[in-house]
Chain A
Amino acid sequence: APWRSSARTIGAMAEAWIPLKFRLNGQERSAEVAPSDLLIDFLRDRLNLTGTKRSCDIEICGACTVLLDGKAVSSCSVFAFEIDGKNVLTIEGLAGADGLHPLQRAFIECGGFQCGFCTPGMIMLAKSLLDENPDPGVDEIKDYMDANICRCTGYQMIVESIQRAGSILRAEKK
């Protein structure tokens, strides 16, 4: 039956390694991954970048958010091979040589986290928001950030953190 042969094909694929070239946090990298490897496991287990956090596993909570060519994605629901030829930014790549990114500073100053487990994903999503819209209103922040869940803060202080970061970034550009 046809489904049998396709199952065999997938089985055979599982043995094959896929070579990748990608840019990770500003550095050119290459690796080989199995077809079924998820990006989150590749980052956390293979590259030891454990700042990206695992929580719901089904693209609901956003704890594992990373930027892929500048776009926020849930790394629990992206295959590792999908980063081939792309630019990956994780929380570890956000701080510059001159210190913390304005979002990181603002999250500390405005109480934008408590346990900190949602924080890397939250900050990466907020970066994507501020890249698209440097001066978002409160409703725009709530709409955009609705993709991620925080269980500690009650959200208000995250909204304020993003507003603060936005104003720091706008002042820096002037």
Chain B
Amino acid sequence: MGSAVGENVSRIDGADKVTGRGVYASDVKLAGMLHARILRSPVAHARVRRIDAARAAALPGVAAVLTKDNLRVAAPHYGAYIKDQPIVALEKVRYVGDIVAAVAATDEKIAEKALREIDVEYEELPALFEVDEALAAAAPVIHDENPARKDPKYGYGASLTRHDGTNIFYHFHYERGDVEHGFREADRVFEETYYLAGAQHYPMESHACVADFQGDQITVWSGTQTPFPLRQEIARMFGLPFSRVRVIVPYVGGGYGAKSGVKYEALAVTLSQLAKRPVRVNLSAEETFKTLCDPSARVTIKTGVKNDGTFVARRCEVYFNGGAYANSGPTVTERAGYRAHGPYKIPHVKTDAYCVYTNTVPGGAFRGFGGPQVSFAYESQLDTIAHGLEIDPVDLRLKNLLGKGELYTAGNIPIDCDLKSELKQVARAIGWGEKSAASEKPGVKRGKGIACAVKDGGGVNKEANALVQILMDGSAMLFTGSVEIGQGVRTALMQIAAEELALAPERIQVAPLDSHTTPFDRGTHASSAITVMGQAVQAAARDARAQLLAAAASVLGVPAASLKLHDGQITAGENRAAIAEVMRRHFGDLEGEITGRGRFKVERRDDAPLGYPATFWENGLAAAEVEVDEKTGAITIVNYVSMTDAGKMINPLHCRGQEEGSVMFGLGHALYEELAYRDGQLANSNLMDYRLPRFRDLPRSSHSIILEEAGGSGPFRAKGIGEGGTLAAAAALCNAVYDATGVRIYRVPLTGQTVWTACAEKPAPQKKGA
């Protein structure tokens, strides 16, 4: 024993998931459970004049119809940062798909039929779909009700500007040095604007939850990534103590950011309150498309450099189309702003990042969290600068990259991996510097591209708690609030506990996630679980171990320091006793158990721009070789190498899965995925029209390299992974397209049309810096 960490220990959810036995929120069935369907707005922006739901309510089998007219809760609005989203539309609807009413009935067909019996009278308002329309001076204000908000307290260099009475709902600013002075010092200045389409997470399981409101007790089963913030928000909305709200998390069929915060839980609770029966909400795929998206973005980046390639100054402006409700848009904006200047030594930086309300699907958390948008811009522009200065792009990166131990900004932890050596490795893996072999196909050109990006990992102001119990027979229980959304976290956390207790992993059981028994955690996102919850679990296991050894010392009459714990045995020199024997004697021949407690909290630092340091630096590097058919715009990936640093792999097989999955997410966004609007209607809200990556899209050759540089703050020097692959993909591909064709692409996804158009508009001679 003592070697659970670093092994491919079998997933604890494995048998459940390969046999179909595992229960997801969409599989939960309760006695008397009703099924809900939702009436959604067909118009993008309108005042709701009148709703007549009498015919719907009278239909046999219909138990409750919820509209603004019978919504009676303590606080009808929710939102992670800005409380701007009501359970059902109150005065206005703000996008096509906004919730107008909901029906709970004995089956979904009856509920669906009832929706058609609800009459709604709308008074249409001018609608805004694009950021520039929403920014126009004369634009109507989408949220004129002045929603309550909770703004963060930033530290050194960062600030928040309120733009009340406009459609800008978040504006993050970061500044260091004097950027204008920097541009004057520069020999050359490059300025470009990059665009990224909105995308859909498409978790395979659509949003699903079941709520049961009985007496003054609410129970919610939800496939949520944030069970405790969800509990708090439900308690606030329904005016109950936290202790009266119970959130149970079954298996979750994918999240990628989509299932953070309140989604449909409050609606289900309200219907259950009206119907006095449990109610299930299980969306269709089309409705999931209309719930939350990765917001489309425009990133303008201006960089001043010396003739030898030294970076002097960078100005970034980021605009997100935040959609109709703020959701987690404020934090995505903040993080995009913080990440916008990239992992480079730049003395003078100034960044403004904005999130803007429009009458489209709300935007928010999405794997990479603002990182993919800005890294696409800064890593593409790095190549433009390199070509402008006639410096090899890898050399230009090596000249400016932050070294291990250097600071990204004041107040944060230093860079915890060797980006320069990583870049050299990934360049070698793609054969950088060797000319691409000519394509076998006539008219098809080949080229190579590279990108290197980081994001501050582990979230901001995180807190996690865990319990480890040693039971009478020497087996153990782990209680943790980290959600198993597929990443294998509950297996990895069990491995950490097993390692600390020197116990075989199969002797540890991970308790189901239930807010009534599991200690508090802030949520499963930002690749945080291994560094944040990992440290709480490690501390809990160490606490339990110390209590066990103290008990053994007293039982065996030897000093605790002389005791060793191994494979369920406690040894002191020649003497040994099984844990079970020690426990029995410790509890005086009666039952008992030892409970170890662990807590991890990131402490505030006022010199940190975001107010708190990260727990690690997540990195994503990619090198791609592509073929471009200029006649069709088709791109084929010939070879793709991705790299990330895990610090230490707790479970190597799962680490590889996380890295490869995030690469495919990045490639999907870079090559295919795009939410298309027509007259304010999301025109491709289904898998027929929205193109997800499939088996045939696997690059002809690809591999992932996961390093263990042992610089992480997590247990055993581990870091988080699982988002790195999304950071570098778009820029690596666009840089490869440039290498192949000499055409710079400023917009992803790289659809055939985008590439063909860019190639057809023959490249202007290389832009010289001003």
A: residues with CB less than 8 A from B are 44, 48-58, 60-61, 63, 90-92, 94-95, 100, 103-104, 107-111, 113-120, 123, 141-143, 145-146, 148-159
A19, B21: Cα distance in complex, Å: 28
Q: Which residues of A contact B698 (CB under 8 A)?
A: 142, 154-156, 159
Q: Which residues of A contact B660 (CB under 8 A)?
A: 153-157
Given A149-B692, A155-B698, verify A119-B254 contact (CB < 8 Å): no
The verdict on B27 contacting chain A, using a C-beta distance below 8 Å, is yes
Please state if A115 and B656 are interface contacts (CB–CB under 8 Å).
no
Q: Which residues of B contact A114 (CB under 8 A)?
A: 486-488, 654, 657-658, 661
Please state if A63 and B204 are interface contacts (CB–CB under 8 Å).
yes
Please state if B696 and A142 are interface contacts (CB–CB under 8 Å).
yes
Given A116-B22, A118-B204, A157-B656, verify A108-B14 contact (CB < 8 Å): yes
User: 9 tightest CB-CB pairs across the interface, nearest first?
Assistant: A51-B20, A116-B17, A117-B253, A115-B486, A114-B486, A154-B664, A154-B660, A91-B20, A60-B687
Given A104-B19, A116-B17, A118-B204, verify A145-B657 contact (CB < 8 Å): no
The verdict on B3 contacting chain A, using a C-beta distance below 8 Å, is no
Between B20, B22, B205, B206, the greatest number of chain A beta carbons within 10 A of the residue's beta carbon is seen for B20
Q: How far in angstroms is the closest Cβ of chain B from A169?
A: 15
- Beyond A117-B24, A119-B18, 11 additional pairs, beta carbon < 8 A: A48-B29, A51-B19, A55-B206, A55-B285, A56-B285, A58-B688, A103-B18, A119-B17, A123-B18, A151-B203, A154-B665
Given A55-B206, A155-B698, verify A95-B26 contact (CB < 8 Å): no
Please state if A115 and B251 are interface contacts (CB–CB under 8 Å).
yes
A99, B638: Cα distance in complex, Å: 41
Q: Which residues of B contact A57 (CB under 8 A)?
A: 284-285
The listed residue (A63, A91, A146, A152) touching B19 by CB distance below 8 A is A91
In the complex, how many residues of chain B place their beta carbon closer than 8 angstroms to a beta carbon of chain A? 56
Please state if B205 and A53 are interface contacts (CB–CB under 8 Å).
yes
Q: Which residues of A contact B18 (CB under 8 A)?
A: 91, 100, 103-104, 107-108, 113, 116, 119-120, 123
The verdict on B485 contacting chain A, using a C-beta distance below 8 Å, is yes
A118, B346: Cα distance in complex, Å: 45
Q: Which residues of B contact A155 (CB under 8 A)?
A: 660, 664, 693-695, 698
Given A151-B202, A153-B657, A155-B698, verify A113-B19 contact (CB < 8 Å): no
Q: Which residues of A contact B24 (CB under 8 A)?
A: 53, 117
Q: How far in angstroms is the closest Cβ of chain B from A34?
A: 10
B: residues with CB less than 8 A from A are 10-11, 13-24, 26-27, 29, 201-206, 251-256, 284-285, 485-488, 653-654, 656-658, 660-665, 686-688, 692-696, 698, 702
Please state if B11 and A108 are interface contacts (CB–CB under 8 Å).
yes
A120, B23: Cα distance in complex, Å: 13
Q: How far in angstroms is the closest Cβ of chain A from B82?
A: 29
A149, B673: Cα distance in complex, Å: 14
Residue of A nearest to B18 (CB): A104
Residue of B nearest to A103 (CB): B18
Tell me what chain A mostly uses at the interface: helix, strand, loop, or mixed.
Answer: loop
Q: Which residues of B contact A48 (CB under 8 A)?
A: 29
A117, B22: Cα distance in complex, Å: 9
Q: Which residues of B contact A119 (CB under 8 A)?
A: 17-18
Please state if B253 and A50 are interface contacts (CB–CB under 8 Å).
no
Residue of A nearest to B652 (CB): A111
Q: Which residues of A contact B202 (CB under 8 A)?
A: 151
Given A92-B20, A149-B694, verify A116-B253 contact (CB < 8 Å): yes
Provide a sorted-by-A list of 24 A–B residue pairs whose CB atoms are within 8 angstroms: A51-B20, A56-B686, A57-B284, A58-B687, A91-B19, A100-B19, A108-B10, A108-B18, A111-B654, A111-B656, A114-B658, A116-B16, A142-B696, A143-B695, A143-B696, A146-B694, A146-B695, A151-B661, A151-B665, A153-B660, A154-B664, A154-B698, A155-B660, A157-B656
A52, B21: Cα distance in complex, Å: 10
Q: How far in angstroms is the closest Cβ of chain B from A14?
A: 11
Q: How far in angstroms is the closest Cβ of chain A from B282?
A: 8
Q: How far in angstroms is the closest Cβ of chain A from B383?
A: 25
Please state if B251 and A116 are interface contacts (CB–CB under 8 Å).
yes
Residue of B nearest to A45 (CB): B107
Q: Which residues of B contact A108 (CB under 8 A)?
A: 10-11, 14-15, 18
Between B15, B661, B698, the greatest number of chain A beta carbons within 10 A of the residue's beta carbon is seen for B661
The listed residue (B22, B26, B695, B696) touching A54 by CB distance below 8 A is B26
Please state if A151 and B285 are interface contacts (CB–CB under 8 Å).
no
The listed residue (B254, B657, B692) touching A117 by CB distance below 8 A is B254
The listed residue (B23, B204, B206) touching A50 by CB distance below 8 A is B23
Q: Which residues of A contact B665 (CB under 8 A)?
A: 151, 154
Q: How far in angstroms is the closest Cβ of chain B from A41?
A: 9
Q: Which residues of B contact A146 (CB under 8 A)?
A: 694-696
A166, B720: Cα distance in complex, Å: 34
Given A58-B687, A108-B10, A142-B698, verify A50-B27 contact (CB < 8 Å): yes
A164, B201: Cα distance in complex, Å: 30
